[in-house]
Copies of this chain bind each other. A is one copy, B any other.
Amino acid sequence: MQWKSPEEWEKLKQGIDCPMCADIHLVENQFSFLLAELSQSYARLSKNQYHKGYTVVALKRHANELFELAPEELAGYWKDVAQVAKALYTVYQPAKINYLIYGHHIPHIHCHMLVHFFEEDPSKVVNLGEGEKYLATAEYQQKIAKIREQL
């Protein structure tokens, strides 16, 4: 993906034309389906299920870094993430959950959540874009229902 100009990056940090602000609340957007609206965030199931269970928890309002949040927002956001983690843990029974905030392309706070299984190589570098696997609509709906049951 192309580098942005410093001016474009600065605008994104200010939330101007932030693509996440535009579509993070939708039942379905280009990349994901809404799992749940939580206190400070939207939990979304990624359409790309190459990483089984790949879920994103995105802050409702625009902010870029954790230190921009008021104490109650920060606490509420991580309570949301923990709640989603517990649901994924129950559904997938993994060895470990990954909680990953990057934001190199879109600084809007969003945590990528992956389930890491015991059988997987623990030293393998985590690459969110490693592959693509898209499911049939009914399969997404089944997954969404299973996770929602635990939320």
Contact = CB atoms under 8 A, between A and B. Distances in A.
Interface residues of A, number: 43
A95 interface: yes
Interface stretch (A17-25, A30-38, A83-91): A83-91
A6 B100 contact: no
A104 B85 CA distance: 15
Contacts of A129: 123, 125
Given A78-B66, A96-B64, A96-B102, A121 B3 contact: yes
Interface of A: 1, 3-4, 6, 9, 64-67, 69, 71, 74-75, 77-79, 81-83, 85-86, 89, 95-105, 107, 116, 118, 121-123, 125-127, 129
